[in-house]
Structure 1
């Protein structure tokens, strides 16, 4: 990183931290002690009001907040932002109704002529393929705000078979394979559930309801709330390394990979009402899996394949 770029970032670092040590600067910018001292001296020469505190617990303190210069991006940062924005292109629904076109236009307006030419060149040499969003989601913003504000929602949820009213405590939302999903605590069933956002037809905030403590719960670890019911059926499938790769791309909290004597198995549970789902899911693995148990699941998968053959 050029010194000018590093000093620009250091200005923002200092303004945010207010108090910091030399070690903080060294770790944050991955520079030597000598370079860190020179950079701090450069900041003082630029007029940054820093006060040095000596002693065992000493460091630097910003006397008063500073006015930061306009944000400027290096070519590498421009490319990184451009790559990140491509994820918006395939979604017709995004939180806060951000459209790819408006963001893209504002992004290009803020670039130099040279950077715009580099982006034009990049577009001709890099392709992005996404799973297109299949259904519009009307309540992404409300779901996201409810998760950040720790609110309870009453939702009307429609599936292929029925429409129900559920009370949920949203944890997070995420996009995968053309769909938006909401990780939630289902207060009706007192269990972790994932809802497809396009199937949520209405939302209403519910007041004066006991909530579950979700402090420290994130999108990565929300599945710790998931528990199978007493009626859940355990299953076990031998799986190849190719199958494991597919599982990593599309996995569920009710399943995991287990190693036994140098062989790998996909193990988990499914509810009696989820038979159609588990059959279609396992069928998607083709010859990379082999059902070990239960025998009933193996027979149901055979029937599924025979039905396909007869349909052809």
Structure 2
């Protein structure tokens, strides 16, 4: 067996055990203890964080439990993983301790030269683009951690109406359009609301929960309509195209043969404020038939914009 293959086998063995003796390795691989010590020095030189303990109960310990053993990928798998990282490059904050560029560099450097050439060529023709945001999200890691730990949070939140204290139960975090969002149950309003994580100014305190709550995956499949209202809108072909690019309307848009379409669905009345600006942006490409509140809201925003420019002139 080649030395490289033997080192790989020992690396997988020790990262699984975490604490071991030279005799453990010698017995497992049927080699001498002296040879084991040489291999351990080689692994240490390669960057494996091994700590040696002397004495009767001594041995070796892997200093970190987060080091993964080598995984063998095919060329296509490695390329797929490499370009999956590209979509994360546009986020200023990530819920991980390491820079994604560090992971990319390690993967890239481990590839064979012909695969590197292939990646270099592909990256000139493809990008998973998101708007480049300059907004910091310093509490992203903490919010994700407490979500996983099933804890309630008391937070200071910078909402449109000013800085408010909120008592919430996090569901999880997700990224969209270059920003990070937190769906959470608001104990005061007694419903699930969506929070921008960059607007969370501080986490004041936390509370333990004994019971389980829905996670993010379950929330994505759960639609709570406590105050139902009909949304009926006629769309031009351009309106159809734009609505299909908005995640909120996914599944709502019905396309007709000539390319135009419509939305005729039941939504929660609490979503009206959110979708008003969306329909204002669509302009003449969306004619709202119902509800009346949405028509009034769009007209009000349009008049405010028109008045602002009329005042300037």
Q: Flag whether TM exceeds 0.5 (same fold).
A: yes
Matches of 1:209 and 1:77 in 2, distance apart? 40
- Counterpart in the other structure of 2:77: 77
CA offsets, 1:128-184, max 9 Å, x none? 422112411111111212222211111111123211111222111111112100121
Question: 2:232 maps to what in 1?
Answer: 236
Kept in 1: contact 2:185–2:192 (CA 8 A): yes
**Equivalent position of 2:148 in the other structure:** 148
CA-based RMSD = 3.5
In structure 2, the partner of 1:283 is 280
Structure 1 position 257 matched with structure 2 position 260:
no
Report the Cα distance in structure 2 between the residues aligned to 1:280 and 1:208, rounded to whole angstroms: 38
- The corresponding residue for 1:109 is 109
Change (3 A) 1:260 1:245: closer
State the Cα distance separating 1:235 from its structure 2 match.
4.3
After superposing the two structures, state which structure 1 stretch, 298-307 or 157-166, moved more. 298-307
8 Å Cα contact 1:171/1:183 also seen in 2: yes
TM-superposition CA deviations, 1:221-278 (whole Å, max 9, x none):
346363445xx8654323356545533432449x972769996325424449x64x43
Structure 2 CA distance for aligned equivalents of residues 127 and 260 of structure 1? 29
* Structure 2 CA distance for aligned equivalents of residues 261 and 131 of structure 1: 31
For 1:108 and 1:151, the matched residues in 2 are separated by: 38
> Match of 1:56?
none
> 1:260 and 1:124, CA in 2 relative to 1: closer, same or farther beyond 3 A?
closer
| CA distance in structure 2 between the partners assigned to 1:214 and 1:236 by the alignment | 33
Q: State the Cα distance separating 1:303 from its structure 2 match.
A: 4.1
5+ unaligned residues in a row in structure 1: which ranges? Answer: 1-11, 13-67
User: Aligned with 1:201: secondary structure?
Assistant: strand
The answer for the alignment partner of 1:170 in structure 2 is 170
Structure 2 residue aligned with 1:214: 213
- Secondary structure at the residue paired with 2:133? coil
The 3-state SS of whatever aligns with 1:172 is coil
Superposed CA offset, 1:40-69 (max 9, x none) = xxxxxxxxxxxxxxxxxxxxxxxxxxxx98
TM-score, with structure 2 as normaliser: 0.64
Partner of 1:224: 222
Which residue does the alignment assign to 2:302? 305
- Give 1:117 shift: 1.7
The more displaced of 241-250 and 162-171 is: 241-250
Contact residue 173 and residue 216 of structure 2 kept, 8 A: no
| Counterpart Cα distance in 1 of 2:131 and 2:255 | 35
CA-CA distance at 1:209 after TM superposition: 5.6
Secondary structure of the residue that 2:182 maps to in structure 1?
A: strand
Of 167-176 and 235-244, the range deviating more from structure 2: 235-244
Whether contact under 8 Å (2:152, 2:208) holds in the other structure is no
Number of the residue aligned with 1:137: 137
Tell me the TM-score normalised to structure 1 length: 0.64
> Unmatched 5+ residue regions in structure 2?
1-11, 13-67
